[in-house]
Structure 1
Amino acid sequence: MSIIVGPTLPEPYYSTVKDVWADLDAEFGFGSMVNPFPHFTLYGLDDADVDAVERVVSEVAANHGPFSVRTDGIGVFPGNHVYVPVTHSRTLGDLHGEMVDELRALGDPLMPFYEPGSWFPHVGLALGVDDEQVGEVVSFLLDYDFAWEFTVDNVEVEYLSDEASQFERVASVEL
């Protein structure tokens, strides 16, 4: 099982990302995303007690208020994961750092890239694209405007059981 902790995007960006996913599926046949909630991840855990994660997220969120972030451009991580970068700020870094510090004790990290020294906030658009297609996907996405500014006002807990094909929303906690 996997647990993802992070803010979901507000409208209209939530719907925009859903539309981009649908357009990518129509153009390239990618199918649905494993996590169907447009978001950026603060931390991911493997084999943790989801109720304990929800409690910690609520406690940490109570220490933070809403704040603005910006996005722009398109990036590609190793493994051909195509994403929209989220600009790092001190406020975002503080939320991330406290969340990681408190969640780390609850289970194994989903991957090392969520640790403070290597975390790069982003909104995933396409995961594991074939080497031959990644250039086409990026070119296709150049027609979209990803220069956004929005308020982060929530942190969600999303859970993928071993039997499921998609994450489900467990909790949405206001900042």
Structure 2
Amino acid sequence: MGSEVFGVVSLPGQQHYQAIKALWREIETKFGIPPIERTIVPHFTHHCAERYDGEQLERLLTERAQELTRFTVPCGPVAIANAGDYPVFFLVLARSPALARIHEELWQDLEPLGEGIIDRYAPETWLPHITLTPDGFPREHTGDLAAFLSEQDFEWEVEVDNFTLLHDTGERQQVEWRVLFGGGTMPTQASADAG
């Protein structure tokens, strides 16, 4: 996958978290690839850095989450990008005014807490999306996967109700902790499994 990074992300609500995992199982079966959920977690990224001041980060995100209420954002189309030698398919989320405002405020708040910040998530270039294929997806299946995904119904309203710290070890992603909008936390395992 790459080098170790941490991401401030949101996991989609339960319904779409499970729908993405079900879609991954179909892709695995259809294209004979290893289980996707062993390496990635359904999410979209707000901010990403090589490291954060963990204590300040958790305090800040807990405070920000308490101020927010859950909302939904519509999905856009499935898009594809090249990541070196392999294609990456992803589901675009609409950059609604509420989502854009939260992202811009988070970016300003998180900048002093992170080192090695990844600029592609900056407000002026941010494209909220949920990745549908793992790193290394076989290029020879690109056309077939594009056709398969074009048959899927992605007219979704994805619920946004949390901030989550996601740790990408370079080999796999894992949920460190999650805070819910309006207050409350979820245990790590429950947040990873229940979405």
- Decide: shared fold, TM above 0.5: yes
Quote the residue 1:119 is aligned against. 126
Moved more, 148-157 or 87-96: 148-157
Asked whether the 8 Å contact 1:2–1:161 carries over to 2, the reply is yes
Quote the residue 2:47 is aligned against. 43
Mark the CA change 1:160 to 1:65 in structure 2 (over 3 Å): closer, same or farther.
same
* d(CA) in 2 for partners of 1:77, 1:102: 29
Quote the residue 1:60 is aligned against. 64
Identical residues among aligned pairs (%)? 24
Is 1:169 aligned to 2:173, yes or no?
Answer: no
Q: CA deviation at 1:22?
A: 1.3
TM-score (norm 1): 0.86
Mark the CA change 1:51 to 1:173 in structure 2 (over 3 Å): closer, same or farther.
farther
TM-score (norm 2): 0.78
Is 1:70 aligned to 2:77, yes or no?
Answer: no
Asked whether the 8 Å contact 1:83–1:126 carries over to 2, the reply is yes
Asked whether the 8 Å contact 1:64–1:95 carries over to 2, the reply is no
1:62-103, Cα deviation, whole Å (9 max, x unpaired): 333222210132111231221111001111001001111111
Quote the residue 1:32 is aligned against. 36
Structure that is richer in helix per residue: 2
Mark the CA change 1:110 to 1:18 in structure 2 (over 3 Å): closer, same or farther.
farther
Secondary structure (helix, strand or coil) at the match of 1:118 reads coil
Structure 1 residue runs of 5 or longer lacking an equivalent are none
Quote the residue 1:4 is aligned against. 7
Is 1:152 aligned to 2:152, yes or no?
Answer: no
* d(CA) in 1 for partners of 2:145, 2:116: 29
Q: Which amino acid in 1 is paired with 2:40?
A: N
Structure 2 residue runs of 5 or longer lacking an equivalent are 183-195
How many residue pairs align between the two structures?
Answer: 173
Mark the CA change 1:101 to 1:143 in structure 2 (over 3 Å): closer, same or farther.
same
Q: CA deviation at 1:49?
A: 3.0
RMSD of the alignment, in Å? 2.1
Q: CA deviation at 1:15?
A: 0.8
Q: CA deviation at 1:117?
A: 0.7
